[in-house]
């Protein structure tokens, strides 16, 4: 029996990250995933996925505001898993850490903006570097960073996040060119508003939800599973000649 492939994903205890991790587990892929604070929930999910899908799943603590943690994180993963084939940079920050980064343009402050950059761009770079070293050893792999349509269209209070999502997409394209020689593909999934705790944390959540449904050609909000399917596709052999690309998954909300 051939060795199972392994996904490393940041922030997989809820929302989009949880849906992505479970989709890969369902496809028979081992899952190494991170959590920030809720160890109990993370371990419960690891046990659930292991038992339900017959794969190996394990949770690791990571604070993406300290990207230097990626090196020891991957060293821990090396002890528990034989290989790394996929890396998904998914974890995000909200709440107190984004004060000064989430709000109107005239209220933006360096600390909040810098935190968002650290959690978005730095985390993608440092995580992808460590993942790529391991993918090279097994003949290649696939990396996906999460983005947002808030870098293409105006979303109230989203300037800090939107500009950093634009930055991570640019970084993704650079990575795609340079990692291609290792047979590593690098892409982004840019989601429209998705029904998650992070979106519900928006002060104008109900307004965003109503406007999303109104704008969507499909007349509904996006779900974490909608994003998970796109990430799985970009990592699968069906996308073997797709790299440096941003796949927009938005229910048609950005062209209406």
Q: Indicate which residues carry an active-site annotation.
A: 158, 165
CA-closest candidate to residue 52, choices 80, 7, 22: 22
At what angle are helices 15-26 and 39-53 packed, to 10 degrees? Answer: 20
User: Rounded CA gap, 166 and 171, in Å?
Assistant: 9
Torsion of CA 143, 46, 126, 75, to 10 degrees: -120
Beta bridge partners of 60: 34
Give ∠ CA 13-141-192 in degrees, rounded to 5.
50
**Measured between alpha carbons, how far is 161 from 153 in angstroms, rounded to an integer?**
12
Q: From CA 66, how far away is CA 97, in angstroms rounded?
A: 12
Q: How many residues does the chain have?
A: 256
Largest CA distance in the chain: 59
């Amino acid at each position: 029996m051939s060795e199972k492939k392994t996904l490393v994903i940041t922030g997989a205890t809820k929302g989009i990250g949880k849906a992505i991790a479970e989709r890969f587990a369902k496809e028979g892929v081992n899952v190494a995933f991170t959590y920030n604070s809720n160890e109990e929930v993370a371990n419960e999910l690891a046990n659930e996925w292991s038992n339900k899908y017959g794969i190996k799943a394990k949770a690791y603590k990571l604070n993406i505001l300290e990207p230097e943690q990626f090196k020891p994180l991957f060293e821990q993963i090396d002890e528990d898993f034989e290989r790394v084939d996929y890396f998904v940079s998914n974890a995000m920050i909200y709440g107190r850490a984004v004060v000064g980064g989430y709000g109107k343009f005239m209220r933006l402050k360096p600390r909040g903006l810098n935190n968002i950059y650290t959690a978005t761009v730095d985390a993608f770079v440092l995580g992808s570097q460590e993942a790529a070293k391991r993918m090279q050893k097994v003949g290649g792999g696939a990396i996906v960073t999460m983005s947002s349509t808030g870098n293409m269209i105006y979303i109230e209070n989203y300037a800090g996040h939107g500009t950093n999502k634009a930055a991570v997409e640019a970084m993704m394209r650079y990575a795609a060119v340079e990692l291609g020689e290792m047979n590593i593909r690098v892409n982004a999934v840019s989601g429209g508003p998705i029904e998650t705790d992070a979106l519900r944390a928006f002060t104008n959540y109900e307004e965003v939800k109503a406007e999303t449904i109104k704008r969507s050609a499909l007349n509904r909000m996006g779900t974490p599973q909608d994003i998970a399917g796109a990430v799985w596709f970009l990592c699968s052999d069906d996308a073997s000649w797709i790299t440096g690309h941003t796949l927009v998954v938005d229910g048609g909300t950005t062209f209406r």
